[in-house]
Structure 1
Amino acid sequence: MEIRHDSASIGKHHETLYFPAGDLVLAASLKNPGHADGSVLFRVHKFMLAHHSPIFNDMFALPPVDTIETYDGANLVHMPDSAEDLEGLLRVLRCLPYNRRDFDESYFLCGVLELAIKYEIDSIRDRIVGQLKAEWPADLEAWDQLEDRRQAIWKAGDSDAAAELLPEPVLSIQLARQCDARDVLLGAFYQLSWLSAWDIWDCASPDDDATFNPKARWNLLDSRDLLRIIRAREVLSFRTKADPVKMHFLGKRCSESESCNRTFRLIWEDMSSEICRTRDPLEALRILQRPSSPYTSMLCLSCCIHEKTFLRNMRKKMWDNLLSTIISIPIS
């Protein structure tokens, strides 16, 4: 027995994802219908869904049942997913190979990933995971290279291109947890640990005209993650204050102990000032570690080697401990 529906009893056609040649109509309800019709109709090709999803492929392979719902001459399926998430998934499927920057980076991306996992559409899941890992590298050297590229692009005057290299971190954390991409959390949490609470996504901050400031959707941050970030700031602050005490030990073959001790004090005063300015201890340490640092010529050769080695090891240790510092802190 076939059940037909008229247009008024189902819902509204999607403006762009209702293809007359399609052989399948998907009906889905809006999350927040407001004053609009509560259902949206998508007309697509079964082949597209079956090609990308083994779940849909198995569903379409089932023998027909006695009761078949149709609409506008095509089979009708009522989807348990929201119309907003389904729209996002269909948009991405039409644009494969998927590029995250081809779409407005809004909340729909989490819904797309959720459906990609649910319907085992690995092409979308793997693409999102790959782009997340490229945007938030877990390797310190790769993180530094990304920062160098971003700074070079920003100094060239293209702040929009610079912003793309460090996307919004809160949404990235949500996506990483959905697809179990744990490595992504490292960079995203670290960026949040030094961002100001006034650096709000889609809002201008007082310093925007002077420098490029990454932003975050602080309002979407889980309360437990916020506590992790607060504790991480305290831990990172403590380490940048406590570890420099070790620098009082000069190089093993120091030839200018008085001068080198004086220089070391200047180095850490400069580092503290840079951390206060940028709130980014890793970047502050890297600036001092560069060969162009003015302090290089103020130290004897032994202490210069000792300083560079110490700074490099300090940064590496700080980065390696970020997961335990930020993510694995017990939250009671």
Structure 2
Amino acid sequence: MKKHIVAFAAALSVSACGGSSNPFSDDTETDPTDPDTGTPIESDRELPPGTASPSPNRSLFRSEPEGTDAASQGNGAATAVAYNSGDDTFSVDGLGFDGDNVYARGTNVGSLGPYAVYEAPRQFPDSSSGTPINQFTHRAIYGISTSRNTQFAIVRTGAYVPYGFGGFVYQRENAVTLPTTGQALYRGVMSGLRDFDGAGGLEYTTANIDIAIDFDDFNDSTGQRGDAVRGVISNRTIFDIDGNDITDNVISRIEADNNITLNQYPVATFTVGPGVLDDNGEILGSVQSYYTDSNGRTAVFEEGNYYAIVAGDNAEEIVGVVVLETTLDPVANSVRETGGFIVYR
């Protein structure tokens, strides 16, 4: 049985001097369904692949669903994700032309906020002649919480005309105790990767993210949790692959191509409604951002989904991933941003 996000041995701040021992190394999935196969779970909530029998009393693991059409065929391809603190490397299986599957800490961009960035080698030798073979552009972002109770990883590829091959994973290591009354506010940073349907290349993103939960409402007549969840993603910034801030350039080309005025990259918000948080601490919902069109009307700029897990004895933190797409950026048919976050009360 494969492990989940294995070998998260130590916080990144001490990874250079740590060993390869892993306090989570025995946390293997014992469910009869292998979570690394990417087989969707049968659920009314359409949970991503992962833990087949979730519970508030155990760890939880989720990964990106496999793609179902030409544009998304590379989704969920990244498997066997692992971090090794001994040499501060990241390994990913399932992706073509990423060297020997071992990613080194990024050179031009080594971190985005509190999260680490890794890159696949640019060349890899022919196993017989030693002749160097150019590899595809792959980047990985890894985050682990200060408690080491939650973590996420995102891998994307910038070498394909449709969206490239990659994936995301996120998990909670232990049980969670959810309040039954009151409200909670969580704040943190989101960092991600932008890839393109209709163009190659990768870009980095950062943003602030606030999430609030009302543990009292919405009420659910079935007796299940009906907690309301709201989220705001703001101060969004875009960087090129070398780490240069290109936010203004991106905004300018979008404004010119669509005859609109943005002033800033749009704030994204969670859709608020019942049934997004369950008893196991999983949160699933939709997210969108808006702009004002040339006629003064509010229109959708991006649409997508967020996936998250609450963790802690007092629900102290949330780990998750946001996926947003827009067709208004003229650089490609569609632009996808995949961002990971860990937020705290």
TM-score by length of 2: 0.22
Decide which structure has greater helix share. 1
The one of the two structures with greater contact order (alpha-carbon pairs below 8 A, sep at least 6) is 2
TM-score by length of 1: 0.22
Decide which structure has greater strand share. 2
